[in-house]
Chain A
Amino acid sequence: MENILETEELTKNYSGKNVINKINLTVPKGAVYGLIGKNGSGKTTTIRMISELASPTSGKIKFFEDSYRGKRRSKISAVIEYPSFYPFMSAFENMESQRILLGIKDKSVSNVLLNELGLGDAGNKKVKNFSLGMKQRLAIAVALLGEPDFLFLDEPINGLDPSGIKEMRQLILSLNQEKGVTIMISSHILGELTKIATYYGIIREGELIDQFSAEELKTRVKSCVKIKVNDVSRAINSIAENLGLNDYRLDGNEITVYDEGAESGIINSELAKSDVIVESISSEVGDYEDYFIRLMGGGF
């Protein structure tokens, strides 16, 4: 699979301290990559280095499996930290200034993008009068000028109301699925991220501690049934032979069953038939947030 972004040992040092330490990120083409980490873990610094706003102390950054300053560099766009505009200009004028800068000849593109982002009616309104949600959408409209192949979104749903969050999610999905834009998102709102991300990278204290796909996440965070019994070996034989449940983990006299379709009532009944005494049995739903928080090293 072609990678759109690769970093090699990317490091940033401030005042003798490595705030980013040898990060090796790999973002596959077509992915929605969720960059997850606590406040101050180094997410934004990483994105700022990748987007050339901050220079790395050491390490390499490759786009499109090419050198950093490849010709396709202008095909990378971003909305970092907060939407930035000229407040004295209208949404359309802000779009135009960027369109001119990028040398896009088609003058209709600004209006087309504003309409696509639901800002068609607000095009002539001064940006200083925009709500945060409108600014977020305008920032993405500006970022989409020049049809980028890769888009960074730093905390894109911060400050949005529930309907704004839903709109943003749909927008990100349509950009990714319909326009084929590879997207890297850093966000705190893990529940939202798990609805759209296809890859994840976990940053903790400036280090990339793990990187995995959404499929892998599903296998890591499964629903399960936890059973405490008096006779573990008889219990395992019973559920394996009679119920066909083979995906389990043992911890003392506790059995955790991960098989899909494992139901606590049926397991309990089967164990009773086999004369196994069930001390406790409970179903637990796989929780992505708990898993991420564990990886990140605790709460935010």
Chain B
Amino acid sequence: MLNLIISDFYKLFKRKSFYICALIAIALSAINVFTLSFQMGMQYGIPDLDLKLLGYNAFFVVSGGAASVGLVSSIFSSLFISGEFSAGVVRTVILRGVNRFYFYFSKLIAVLSVPIIYTILSCGTAFAAGCYLWGMGDPDKSTIISIAKSLGMFLMIQIAIHSLYVMVSFLVRSTGAAVASNLAIVLPVVSGMLIWLIDYILLKWFNVQCNVGDYWVGNHTLIFQSMHFAKDFVIRMSIVSASYLVLSSLIGSFTFWKRDIK
């Protein structure tokens, strides 16, 4: 299993698309900070307003750096998994007697590292851009704890949703279909239609008032924007994220185990 994981990380870091996606995440993160600076200036009616005078510093935008991570890493994750099938390399590995469950979980671990790496890079870039614009500042302990909490929650949700991407990519197996399914179906369709439909059915047929969206991780991908979380929200999201991770991993690995490899 360890050899399999090391081999997957070797392949991950050899992929040009990994670095291209990382560069995109970094660039978007920097653009976000500069755009924020400009927008705030416009908001105050002073285009060249120095936000430093309002108390802004680099720590204010650390979490904001994560804004583009979800999208970019979802694209890369879909490419990474489906590439194994479209290139046919999955056969080369499995026919050497590698356990299919090990294969799945090794890929999962490699993919889950992607949003973590991209978040570190993006937040680091945002922090550097903030330093350039407003200086590092002198944040108090509670601000740093809030940032850490915000990023921790963000990563937890990203891990949950990436485990879904891995499952979908293992199910559809082709590169284009995996990217399309993850970008166009998993988030928009579930967030926009399915949840609303379930809420409606529960109310109409069972007279149960429920907000299913609270239990859909896709609705919380912008969680980094918040700095303060209620305790029950943190507990609920932890349980929900863990459930997504476990369930999607079980379904994905089981179907991979059962299906033939072409």
Binding site for B on A (CB under 8 A): 48, 51-55, 69, 73-74, 76-78, 80-82, 84-89, 93, 96-98, 100-103, 142, 146, 152
Partner of A100, one of B6, B94, B97, B258: B6
B31 to chain A, nearest CB (A): 28
| A89 pairs with B14, CB closer than 8 A | yes
A-B contacts, 18 of them at CB < 8 A, read A51-B94, A52-B97, A54-B260, A54-B261, A55-B258, A69-B97, A74-B97, A76-B96, A76-B97, A86-B11, A86-B14, A89-B11, A96-B10, A97-B10, A98-B7, A101-B93, A142-B92, A146-B96
* CB-CB nearest in chain B for A94: B89
| B261 pairs with A53, CB closer than 8 A | yes
| A74 pairs with B11, CB closer than 8 A | no
Q: How large is the interface on B (under 10, 10 to 19, 20 to 34, 35 or more residues)?
A: 20 to 34
* CB-CB nearest in chain B for A89: B14
Distance between Cα atoms of A85 and B93 in the complex (Å): 11
Q: Beyond A84-B88, A84-B91, A88-B15: 7 further Cβ-contacts under 8 Å?
A: A52-B95, A81-B88, A84-B89, A86-B14, A86-B87, A100-B3, A101-B3
* CB-CB nearest in chain B for A45: B260
Contact with A along B40-66 (1 / 0, CB 8 A): 000000000000000000000000000
A143 to chain B, nearest CB (A): 8
| A77 pairs with B95, CB closer than 8 A | yes
Interface of B is mostly: helix
* CB-CB nearest in chain B for A101: B7
Inter-chain residue pair count (beta carbon < 8 A)? 75
Binding site for A on B (CB under 8 A): 3-4, 6-7, 10-11, 14-16, 83, 87-89, 91-98, 258, 260-261
Which residues of A are found within 8 Å of B97, using beta-carbon distances? 52, 69, 73-74, 76
| A97 pairs with B7, CB closer than 8 A | yes
Which residues of A are found within 8 Å of B10, using beta-carbon distances? 96-97, 100
| B95 pairs with A78, CB closer than 8 A | yes
Which residues of A are found within 8 Å of B3, using beta-carbon distances? 100-103
Known contacts A88-B14, A101-B7; A82/B96 CB under 8 A: no
| B7 pairs with A82, CB closer than 8 A | no
* CB-CB nearest in chain B for A68: B97
Which residues of A are found within 8 Å of B4, using beta-carbon distances? 101
Partner of B92, one of A54, A84, A89: A84
Distance between Cα atoms of A86 and B12 in the complex (Å): 11
Known contacts A52-B97, A53-B261; A100/B88 CB under 8 A: no
* CB-CB nearest in chain B for A75: B97
B239 to chain A, nearest CB (A): 35
| B91 pairs with A100, CB closer than 8 A | no
| A93 pairs with B14, CB closer than 8 A | yes
* CB-CB nearest in chain A for B92: A84
Distance between Cα atoms of A103 and B7 in the complex (Å): 9
Distance between Cα atoms of A54 and B94 in the complex (Å): 10
Known contacts A89-B14, A100-B7; A53/B88 CB under 8 A: no
| A101 pairs with B96, CB closer than 8 A | yes
